Structure 1
Amino acid sequence: MDIEQLQQYCLRKEDVEETFPFGPDTLVYKVNGKVFLLCGLENNPLRFNAKCDPDRAVELREEYPDNVLPGWHMNKKHWNTVVANGNIPSKLVRELIDHSYELVKGNRKKKT
């Protein structure tokens, strides 16, 4: 997956917005106003931070120690940095994006 594919994949999801709140080099995707993915535009290979269930995060880091790392500059219990350099299945990369999106979208509080 490259940056253009990441952008297209994220923007296809419902209620997603693409933002640059940390400056022009950090792409941030939000669902319902909450961050679910961050990506530096200067990274080669593609690296992004995605939210993850803590138990699943530990399992993924053990299975893919070079490609799923504790989230850079994030809460390391709840965020992973994913290195999409071809050594991790593309299907899993998409699943991690979907998982992050669903976690964040599901945390939305209902207005009364």
Structure 2
Amino acid sequence: MTETQIKALLLAKPEAAEDYPFGPEAAVFKLQGKLFALLFRQQGQLKLNLKCDPEEAQMLRDVFASVAPGYHMNKRHWNTVTLDGSLPIGEIQRMLDNSYALILRSLPKAVRLGLEARHGRDALYPD
């Protein structure tokens, strides 16, 4: 998966915003100002930090060699995915959707309801 492709997936999420608060080498993707993904290169490899339920985070690390504890993140709640082609695109999309949904659920109820009204529940919470 290319950098352009992963950015397109991230920015396709309703109201996702791209920012570079750490400089041009790390793209931060936020929903309502809250980080749900961080895209960067490390030793030439494209990597993606995604928020994850702690139990699922560990399971994903156990199953996939390209998933590790979050680099420079809370290792209990974040995974770093090396985008080296070893993970199916569908699995990357599922992890991205879960990260976005965790941030969405953490927003105040009024904000969530406003997002649902603007974008529809199905767009925010894919199957």
Q: Same fold (TM over 0.5)?
A: yes
> 1:12: how far off?
1.0
Q: Number of paired residues?
A: 111
Partner of 1:87: 86
**Is 1:50 aligned to residue 50 of structure 2?**
yes
Higher gyration radius (CA) = 2
Q: CA-to-partner distance for each residue in 1:5-48, whole Å, 9 max, x for gaps?
A: 01111111111100001111110000111000001156643211
Unaligned runs of 5+ in 1: none
User: Contact 1:20/1:26 (CA < 8 Å) preserved in 2?
Assistant: yes
So what's the TM-score if we normalise by structure 1? Answer: 0.92
AA paired with 2:2? D
- 2:41 and 2:18 map into 1 onto residues whose CA distance is 13
Go from structure 1 to structure 2 and tell me whether the alpha carbon gap of 1:34 and 1:84 turns closer, same or farther (over 3 Å shift): same
Q: Percent identity?
A: 39
The answer to which structure has the higher helix fraction is 2
User: Contact 1:25/1:42 (CA < 8 Å) preserved in 2?
Assistant: no
- 2:44 and 2:85 map into 1 onto residues whose CA distance is 12
AA paired with 1:93? I
Name segments (4+ residues, structure 1) moved above 6 Å: none
**Is 1:17 aligned to residue 26 of structure 2?**
no
Partner of 2:117: none
Partner of 2:36: 36
User: Contact 1:52/1:99 (CA < 8 Å) preserved in 2?
Assistant: yes
AA paired with 1:14? P
AA paired with 1:33? G
